[in-house]
Amino acid sequence: MARLFGYLASHARPDLVVRHKPWLERLEALSANCLALERGKWESSSGTAAVLYVASARSPYRAFQRDDGPLFLVEGTVHFGDKLLGALDVAELHRVSGDDFVNQLQGAFCILALDAAKNLVKMFRDRWGLKPMFYLLHDGVFYFSSYASLLADIPSGKREPNPEIIALYATSHYSTVYGRKNTFFRNVSQILPAAALSWHDGQLSERVYWRFDASQPFFEDKSERQLHQEMAALLEKAITQRVAPMPSKKGFSLSGGMDSNTVLGYVCKLTGEKQVGVSVTYPMDDRANELDLIEPVARRYLREWHNIQPTVEKFKNEIANLYAHYDQPWTTATVYAQERLNRGAAEAGLQCLISGSGGDHHMAGAYPNFLHFFAYLKNSGQEELLRHEVRKWIEHHSVPRWPKSYQTVENFFRNSVDIRRAGVLVQGEARLCPSLEMLSDEYAAAYRLPPPVESYGDYVRSYTVQEITKDALPPAIWAEDIMGWRYGITGCDPFWDLDLFEYTWCIPHRYKIRDGVNKYLIRRITDSIVPDHIRLRVAKTGFNLPFDQWLRSGLGDLVQDTVGSRRFRERGVLRAQAADRVLREHLAGEVQHGMLIWQILNLELWFQQWIETAP
């Protein structure tokens, strides 16, 4: 576990050497809450390259290693089978296999190989994009860092916002913002998932070393029993290989959902031991609270349970100060729950937090998968099964706040997919309040919606790729990476396993969604592992924070003060009257604007911390 900043120039740059100290000080400031740190720097003898780093002494592996050849840097966790690799291991694997070494690795990582003598730096990001890394090209120098903010002021001496990204975040669903090279800072880019980036003699090149494979056929000839046995074996292998090499002081992120309970249940079964769990619950909100679901699991599987209960008062008191550590606006209110979860894990003395992240993508776990499954049935002419599944979906999932109907499905067919071309997704309306002109003229001119992913020949497959590359995973990564570092917590996510994913990618949809219930096969696989009150539960709560309720019970004043402030109104991003109307309608209970209000609040806090404040 480490944070770094470095550069490679085509010739010696004494002017950059004198900036090493302030750069390192800023890196240290962003890492101020870590418990035990090793600070240092490496400089090439030619004066063309340098790496400044802050590494955690709690790390279960060596983050940096240098031999007589290139300097190898490992940011994150690199898994090779059941082993956790350090930088020396990575360097040796690269020596044997060349750049193709990365295809043999799993985990959440960014690997850098810097050869100053050849004026060459190579960067490899894990295939899912679980570990971010940022870069900047300026004045013949290639800069890279764990923090986008450390690069943002290099071109002009001040940090500048990226209008295109700001315009999307300020008004549209957060899924439109992420999964691209652009960041919230002008000129700063991120390395994309499964990318190998190379900077050599002033030339930047990039290749993708792994792709989702639309040509893989579905397992139509395999019986349910065979699928059950094979997936169960792969799931057990993935959990065993990921969990075994992690630090002994590990705990489990436990919610009331299938995925976290699956991982916990398997580990308890395989080890015969009770574990440590950390949860976030909200007794004050029946819709978001999962306490009644988690308590029976805690009694069965945990020897120690840390139940964190965030309050609106605590949130109000610390949200602004938290932005000193997070240099990207928070995606949703759930990020605060994750922040409290990691903080609680650190306070409990844990070094590793094991989660069920990624489980939804194997078994059509997210709500939109139902609609894409219906599109598959419609496109393939399975009208009778379509009517049955839609009827059961309405029966199981329609609630007064979010009603479901046949019209809901028809609207989806019309607006979100091309029902005549299998697998083709359509970018629908993404603005959270399309009836209002929210943006100023300057930012409205920069507003551009990104296209959906290309077709993978099947609506459910296409949406799975959309989730992993744009909608679900990328929005969470930046903040979770920082909070893990801030509290010294290494993440462990067994579901992000390549062998398991490539297998479930080919499981026919009827084993993922059946009778209006998703995760069909894994519910059967875990019948002796996950308690029935969770395994057979149809409703999906998610890891939610009751932001809407908080707005009406104490947080509204903070938002009103923020939106009404002179700083906000002179910001020039949003039209003040439109923002006032959104807040007024929500607080009056006329229209549900919770997500938009969250983004307005967090964008302003981010501007105050990272754009107004000098580097």
Residue type, 582: V
Largest CA-CA distance found in the chain, in angstroms, rounded: 73
**CB distance 415 to 429 below 8 Å:** yes
- The encoded tokens of residue 82 equal 């059941």
In b/e form, how buried is each residue of 545-580, taking b as 16+ CB within 10 angstroms?
Answer: bbbbbbbeeebbebbeebbeeeebeebebbbeebbe
**Most confident by average pLDDT, 32-36, 42-46, 410-414, 542-546:** 410-414
Q: Is pLDDT of 529 > 80?
A: yes
Give the Cα separation of 535 and 493 in Å (integer).
20
H/E stretch holding 385 reads: helix 383-397
The model's pLDDT over 254-289, given as tens digits with 9 standing for 90+, comes to 999 999 999 999 999 999 999 999 999 987 766 667
pLDDT band at 2 (very low <50, low <70, confident <90, very high): confident
- pLDDT tens for each residue of 81-116: 999 998 889 999 999 999 999 999 999 999 999 999
Give the pairing of strands 64-66 and 37-43: unpaired
Residue 56, strand partner residues: 37
Q: Nearest Cα to 12, choosing from 119, 114, 113?
A: 119
Section 483-508 average pLDDT: 96
Does 35 have pLDDT greater than 60?
no
Residue 32: per-residue pLDDT: 65
CA distance 121 to 115: 6
Smallest CA-to-CA distance from 533 within 281, 354, 306, 292 is with 292
Side-chain half-sphere exposure of 214, counting CA atoms within 13 A = 15
State both tokens at 404.
């479901």
- The answer to whether the CB of 46 falls within 8 A of the CB of 16 is no
pLDDT for res 38? 75
Q: In the structure encoding, which two tokens stand for residue 195, read together?
A: 């990318």
pLDDT of residue 247: 85
Element (H, E) at 514: strand 513-514
| Cβ count near 217 (within 10 Å) | 7
Under 8 Å between Cβ of 397 and 404: yes
Q: Determine contact, residues 246/490, Cβ cutoff 8 Å.
A: yes
Please name the residues in contact with 119: beta carbons below 8 A apart, sequence gap of 6 or more.
8, 10, 48, 200, 201
Calculate mean pLDDT across residues 9-35: 83
Which domains, and CATH codes, for the chain? 2-148+188-208 (3.60.20.10), 224-362+473-535 (3.40.50.620), 379-470 (no CATH), 547-611 (no CATH)
Q: How far is residue 593's CA from residue 432's CA, in Å, rounded to a whole number?
A: 8
The mean pLDDT value for 2-11 works out to 91
Q: What is the mean pLDDT of residues 126-145?
A: 97
| Placement of tokens 């898994």 in the chain | 79
Range 43-50 average pLDDT: 88
**Least reliable range by pLDDT among 17-21, 497-501, 602-606:** 17-21
Q: Please report the sign of the dihedral spanned by the C-alpha atoms of residue 241, residue 246, residue 250, residue 256.
A: negative
Nearest to 112 by CA among 9, 191, 20, 21: 191
The CA distance from 303 to 573, in Å, is: 50
Neighbour tally for 376: CB within 10 Å: 22
Choose among 521, 572, 492, 554: nearest CA to 108. Answer: 492
Angle value at C-alpha 558, between 331 and 434, nearest 5 degrees: 50
More confident residue, 12 or 544: 12
Distances (CA, A) of 446 to 125, 254, 427, 449, 474: 29, 41, 18, 10, 22
Q: What does 429-447 look like in DSSP terms, one character per residue?
A: --BSSTTS--B-HHHHHH-
* Mean pLDDT across the chain: 93
Distance CA 295, CA 579 (A): 41
The rounded distance, in Å, linking the Cα atoms of 231 and 239 is 12
How distant, in Å, are the alpha carbons of 369, 393, 541 from that of 389? 12, 6, 21
Question: Considering only 60-69, 129-138, 193-202, 538-547, which range has the smallest mean pLDDT?
Answer: 60-69
Q: Which residues pair with 74 in a beta bridge?
A: 111
Average pLDDT for 309-334: 92
